[in-house]
């Protein structure tokens, strides 16, 4: 979740490279930020609560100079997020450390170190790492040896970069589960949690493997395993369809709004080359033989990826006519779920680094299930963990609240459902051709929805003072309702609950009164659930609930002046979730903006979740 950057190169550039790189990683955490630069006069540490710009202000016009430095942007897992002492880097003796992860056994280690006379300045688990390294280092071990011994003592997911005044030309990086990438551009060497921090400086990167250590010096980068054996890892070119590019707002006030408007292009890019006239799909390098013996599909994901996966379940069942489930990845990991060779597990993670999803993928593989990975990150750890990879082609998503992640994932699942149906012979070619025609229409339909922006903004301002919302949908509208509620709560901090409309009378209806807005997500007019949703809407209005409806442009009874109707273009069952979610994204955005919230970096959240 935190972001790490390291640099070995030119003294006059170190501070700039570190701060610039942290700026590219700030969506991984923005509770605090800090750097440590090692120069001729020792180590200089600057750190502060808050975002990167506060750190830059603290450094001022006289940045420290040194050829080696490390930096960190923090999402707090332990200790006060607003405390300067809890910000990284953490220093003990000659050693300074930045860390992404959790030290699970920090408490007994700290007690032992304190009983030996060591003084702790923070409430974090990371400071234990700094003291352990310094203890071994001070006893005569090299920095690399000290880091290895420290990793042998700590438990939990951890990626670190460490420097020492005793070895002022060196960074040692180590990885256990949490990501680390390295780059060597000749005179300059780089370390980071993710590729975007490095893309402007180099053309290729190398991922540090599980349980490996890297020594970064002016003369080069050496990777070893825990036994000291040298590891040769190939570098990968940064050719990624825009994932690592230096994103710009392009005139939009926020990244989130820009990314909402990018969805017609992103969905078109995701589907391009994956649907073909005549109903014969090609889905990257996925082998039809993998699919033919499958009897069940299980999607696993977290947050927005889980809600998109619920849509994927509906699509696979309706198009491919095969049993499908959608599981929250963190729950799948600890259930005794049967998933053998007859099961296809689809692990879904925008970042490719989500800890719970990676664990679910590992569990599925161990149980003998077939696996497919869906991710937006061509450099993510999940790609190494999964043999069959489908990249969504959303391009880089900077805003913490995901938007084009949802739509590109759902579009990918539609293509996957086509592939499964054709591979298993359960989808007739003429029906496949009809579905493909519908999928090709989605980008134009989404563009029509974006034209409703001003209208939606007015509705959002009208409802922005409400403290609670209920979002309801049926069928493919259900995951859209869940996603709409999630977007609103993420960026406006308003309580919002999504539910299946058929469940309203089994509990949520008790919440409805004159102060409770209820947002309905309607399907196509021809769908049977349309009339049922109208009945649900009448039940809400009978209890004086305020109604907002995302509804196709068609005639519908029982509407009055108090209702706020957002008319979206009429479309088919498969296109509907990719169209109806856009008004809900815009609604959440405008509510949050009218309340003065930080839309792109909402409190307590991070773009990448690398701990359980």
Which positions are annotated as active-site residues?
2, 607
Say if residue 565 is exposed, middle or buried (CB neighbours under 10 Å; 0-12, 13-18, 19+). Answer: middle
Q: What is the CB-side half-sphere exposure of residue 138 using CA atoms within 13 A?
A: 11
Spatial CA neighbour of 491 closest among 570, 597, 388, 565: 597
DSSP structure string for 27-72? GG--SEEEEEEEETTEEEEEEEES-HHHHHHHHTTS----SEEEEE
Q: Count other Cβ atoms within 10 Å, centred on residue 217.
A: 15
Cβ pair 551, 568 in contact under 8 A: yes
Cα separation, 478 vs 577, in Å, equals: 9
Phi, psi of 516 (to 5 degrees): -110, 105
| DSSP 8-state symbol, 602 | -
Joined together, the tokens standing for residue 423 give 């591979």
Cβ pair 527, 533 in contact under 8 A: no
Q: Coil, strand or helix: which one is 339?
A: coil
Cα separation, 243 vs 24, in Å, equals: 12
Q: What is the CB-side half-sphere exposure of residue 48 using CA atoms within 13 A?
A: 13
Spatial CA neighbour of 393 closest among 194, 199, 243, 249: 243
In which region does residue 13 sit, left (phi positive, over 0), alpha (psi from -120 to 50) or beta (all else)? alpha
């Amino acid at each position: 979740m935190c972001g790490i950057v390291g640099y070995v190169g030119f003294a006059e550039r170190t501070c700039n490279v570190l701060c610039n790189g942290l700026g590219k990683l700030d969506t991984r955490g923005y509770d605090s930020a800090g750097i440590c630069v090692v120069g001729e006069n020792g180590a200089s540490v600057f750190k502060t609560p808050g975002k990167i710009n506060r750190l830059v202000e603290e450094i001022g016009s006289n940045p420290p100079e040194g050829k080696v430095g490390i930096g960190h942007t923090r999402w707090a897992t332990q200790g006060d997020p607003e405390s300067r002492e809890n910000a990284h880097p953490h220093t003990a003796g000659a050693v300074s450390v930045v860390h992404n992860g959790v030290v699970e056994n920090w408490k007994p280690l700290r007690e032992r170190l304190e009983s030996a006379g060591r003084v702790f300045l923070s409430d974090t688990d990371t400071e234990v790492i700094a003291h352990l390294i310094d203890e071994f280092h001070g006893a005569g071990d090299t920095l690399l040896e000290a880091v290895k011994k420290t990793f042998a003592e700590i438990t939990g997911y951890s990626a670190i970069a460490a420097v020492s005044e005793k070895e002022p030309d060196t960074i040692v990086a180590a990885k256990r589960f949490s990501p680390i990438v390295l780059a060597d551009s000749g005179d300059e060497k780089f370390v980071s949690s993710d590729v975007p921090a490095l893309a402007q400086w180099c053309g290729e990167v190398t991922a540090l493997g599980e349980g490996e250590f890297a020594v970064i010096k002016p003369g080069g980068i050496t990777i070893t395993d825990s036994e000291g054996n040298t590891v040769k890892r190939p570098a990968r070119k940064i050719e990624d369809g825009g994932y690592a590019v230096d994103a710009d707002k392009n005139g939009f006030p926020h990244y989130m709004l820009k990314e909402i408007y990018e969805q017609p292009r992103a969905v078109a890019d995701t589907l391009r080359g994956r649907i073909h006239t005549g109903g014969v799909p090609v889905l990257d390098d996925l082998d039809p033989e993998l699919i033919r013996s499958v009897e069940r599909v299980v999607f696993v994901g977290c947050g927005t990826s889980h809600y998109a996966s619920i849509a994927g379940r509906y699509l696979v069942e309706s198009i491919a006519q095969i049993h499908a489930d959608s599981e929250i990845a963190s729950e799948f990991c600890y259930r005794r779920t049967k998933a053998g060779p007859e099961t296809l597990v689809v692990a879904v993670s925008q970042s490719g680094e989500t800890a719970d999803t990676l664990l679910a993928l590992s569990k599925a593989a161990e149980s003998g299930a077939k696996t497919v990975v869906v991710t937006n990150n061509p450099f993510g750890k999940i790609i190494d963990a999964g043999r069959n990879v489908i990249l969504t082609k959303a391009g880089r998503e900077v805003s913490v609240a995901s938007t084009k992640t949802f739509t590109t994932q759902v579009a990918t699942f539609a293509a996957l459902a086509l592939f499964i149906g054709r591979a298993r012979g359960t989808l007739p070619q003429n029906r496949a051709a009809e579905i493909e025609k519908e999928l090709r229409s989605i980008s134009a339909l989404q563009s029509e929805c974006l034209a409703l922006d001003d209208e939606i903004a007015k509705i959002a301002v009208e409802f922005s003072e409400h403290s609670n919302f209920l979002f309801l949908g049926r069928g493919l509208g259900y995951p859209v309702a869940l996603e709409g509620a999630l977007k609103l709560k993420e960026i406006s901090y308003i309580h919002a609950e999504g539910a299946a409309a058929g469940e309203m009378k089994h509990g949520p209806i008790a919440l409805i009164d004159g102060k409770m807005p209820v947002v309905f997500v309607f399907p196509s007019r021809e769908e049977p659930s349309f009339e049922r949703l109208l009945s649900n809407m009448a039940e809400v209005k009978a209890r004086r609930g305020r109604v907002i409806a995302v509804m196709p442009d068609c005639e519908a009874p029982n509407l009055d002046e108090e209702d706020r109707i957002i008319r979206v273009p009429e479309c088919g069952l498969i296109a509907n979730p990719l169209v109806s979610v856009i008004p809900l994204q815009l609604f959440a955005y405008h509510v949050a903006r009218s309340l003065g919230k930080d839309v792109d970096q909402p409190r307590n959240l991070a773009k990448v979740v690398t701990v359980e």
